[in-house]
Structure 1
């Protein structure tokens, strides 16, 4: 397929900007509920963001490697790119904007968003190069069912049956706690933990399958995407009755529902951009074409702002928020949102600048 699919770039850009929006409120004490993750079971708009990105990674894998030879050179490029992503993620966790410039390794968080993207990209790409779509679909279904059976019905060594609760008798939490120890986001779980990365790979594989669908179909693409979306959503919400929708453990129902929403939104964008040929979403495409670079910069700058003091009492982030966004005419939630929107606009401008200068940084 020679023609670049505008909808994919736009959805990627929207997803990255949504990541930045929910990651940089003016204050975490006052955030509108839809801009926060579900506390455990459940789904908010914020919970859709990361699985959307992994889904888009899958679509990108399909078009990038559809005609690539299954050679050592191809594998080398895949491995190098994966290691770069993991390295960037570890750098973000390790970096401090003050002496000694690095976090204490004893409590350094090892997992992270970029680390998970790197691992998912590596495994999904290798599977794509070696398996046809039927095998990929079979692997996906088998993994989702197996993950449910393991987390829900495999007893612990002491004979206690597991639960899906946020507790030590949840297999995902148990494994992370015993393997990662203090190197986790929270003392009892990590949202980018070890075992939950397995179903996250399926989010990417489903993206690969949708990429193939877009490539093979010559007409009625929107209708087919809508049908696929309805299958994902209905099966995911039905599965929720036995395996609750949960981002933290990346439950099988979570995979199905988030992929359903991703396909639905992709189909809508595709209809307007690639069918009607409307270009109003081009600004998001500019961000999407440097997605990892912009996400990395936003995370690096945000961490630096939080950890760099101004006048020894406020960090840069708090200083900017209190000085320019706190206003008696707005609620604290609105002020907090306005700060986040200002940050988003900055990165929209950066994406546009990079696009106009034809700067596309490949990680």
Structure 2
């Protein structure tokens, strides 16, 4: 016979323990075996528990990348800067690297086995590097070409995913092996915990700056593409350098190291400096060479070369380190507004540093990944992620950005399909009658028409506004004389002269 036992309300315990948010703290209740007394109890590795703002940030980066790739040709103002300068497109790569750094700090906040974690990091790095080589090494020939395959003599060894993989490797190794196991209960303890990591970042920065400004670049030669032999000669072109510390396209240490170690055949054949005024009549867009263009306009240059990967992951990894710092603050600062305040201070410090370095003579340059460029983009990354964190994770206003969140959770797949032209290449394989009549060509024609009409409509709108402005200026020119009697001049004669002047102002200003 069963016995009923009455249990008081205070003795009740749930069968399933659900994570809950208490007050203004995002402390997720977990089992006592996985809780660190000094850290934020935020288990982002568990299923169902993610830092939503980081996913939204990744999704925003992917969306920005797709926008730049598709609209950059129609609107050069949002395309990559030709060499020096900063546009929207130049923030995409640092945003990816910054997000990688934040993820690393959360994934490796506690490692039970450092050798095992290192093994996993190396395997992931190899997979990501090989994926980048497969997607961007020349195996796929892009749109409007149904062939595939690459000559190993001219394969492009380094690319975007390769840079991210190397940055991931260096940042992960530093997070696993260089972080001290100390209790963080004060700002001084925070510094002690990550001091060695910051020293390594400083050494990487110093080494890169020494190479960039101290390496002697001799004269060099290259073979122009056969496409341009008719206008530039069939012989090797000689570029005069013999300098140190130059940041200009032909004589910088970055290109010299790439040519020396990789060889001319393995470099990118469409560098951004072909959109400079020296190399394009349509600058800042690609175009025909000017009549007096220098020899180096036809030379190859890899935007993800050795000094920007194996050494500029000396620089690119510093953007990952900025992401690591962001994640460390998330783990060790206990108040939401305290985190936002510290992140905001860090972001403005980086932004001001980048602007100050640019004023002092270190220009913004994505191809060279200069120190000013690193600071300004890392500061922008921190500021944007802070704003997203406040909106999504603090105020829980995430429904309007659910699409960006989904894109962030599938960033690598979207990048491979969209940015690397895998999806367009697959779509163009279906055609009617001949390969030229495919769905991709039709969509590209529609895109060109839409871009043309958008530019035309924008031009008409600007012309209309300019005309209104001129009419107002002319009316102001006529209005005052008509109501101010000039001495010795009849009013109707003075006003007629003003009307004539106004008419001239409309068409001649």
CA distance, structure 2, for counterparts of residue 333 and residue 163 of structure 1: 41
User: Does 1:268 find its partner at 2:387?
Assistant: yes
CA gap 1:290/1:327 in 2 versus in 1, 3 angstroms: closer
> Could you say which residue in structure 2 is the equivalent of 1:12?
58
CA distance, structure 2, for counterparts of residue 52 and residue 334 of structure 1: 33
Normalized against structure 2, the TM-score is what? Answer: 0.60
| Contact kept in structure 1, 2:146 and 2:429, CA below 8 Å | no
By how many angstroms is 1:316 displaced? 5.2
CA distance, structure 1, for counterparts of residue 109 and residue 318 of structure 2: 18
CA gap 1:77/1:232 in 2 versus in 1, 3 angstroms: same
Which deviates more from structure 2 when the two are superposed, residues 214-223 or residues 317-326?
317-326
User: Does 1:136 find its partner at 2:197?
Assistant: yes
> Could you say which residue in structure 1 is the equivalent of 2:208?
147
User: Does 1:282 find its partner at 2:402?
Assistant: yes
CA gap 1:301/1:316 in 2 versus in 1, 3 angstroms: farther
For 2:453, what is the secondary structure of its paired residue?
coil
CA RMSD of aligned residues (A): 2.6
Equivalent position to 1:231, from 349, 352, 356: 349
User: Does 1:301 find its partner at 2:422?
Assistant: yes
| Contact kept in structure 2, 1:10 and 1:288, CA below 8 Å | yes
> Could you say which residue in structure 1 is the equivalent of 2:231?
none
Which structure has the highest helix share of the two? 1
Equivalent position to 1:193, from 305, 311, 318: 305
User: Does 1:40 find its partner at 2:160?
Assistant: no
CA gap 1:259/1:327 in 2 versus in 1, 3 angstroms: closer
CA distance, structure 1, for counterparts of residue 146 and residue 406 of structure 2: 36
| Contact kept in structure 1, 2:59 and 2:408, CA below 8 Å | yes
Larger Rg: 2
Instruction: Give ranges in structure 1 of 5+ residues lacking alignment.
Output: 336-363
Normalized against structure 1, the TM-score is what? Answer: 0.83
> Could you say which residue in structure 2 is the equivalent of 1:114?
161
CA distance, structure 1, for counterparts of residue 446 and residue 252 of structure 2: 44
CA gap 1:290/1:332 in 2 versus in 1, 3 angstroms: same
Instruction: Give ranges in structure 2 of 5+ residues lacking alignment.
Output: 1-41, 44-48, 180-193, 220-241, 270-298, 459-509
> Could you say which residue in structure 2 is the equivalent of 1:251?
370
Which deviates more from structure 2 when the two are superposed, residues 182-191 or residues 192-201?
182-191
Which deviates more from structure 2 when the two are superposed, residues 238-247 or residues 110-119?
238-247
> Could you say which residue in structure 2 is the equivalent of 1:212?
328
User: Does 1:67 find its partner at 2:110?
Assistant: yes
Deviations 1:298-339 (A, max 9, x none): 22425626986953546754431214662498235899xxxx
By how many angstroms is 1:8 displaced? 1.0
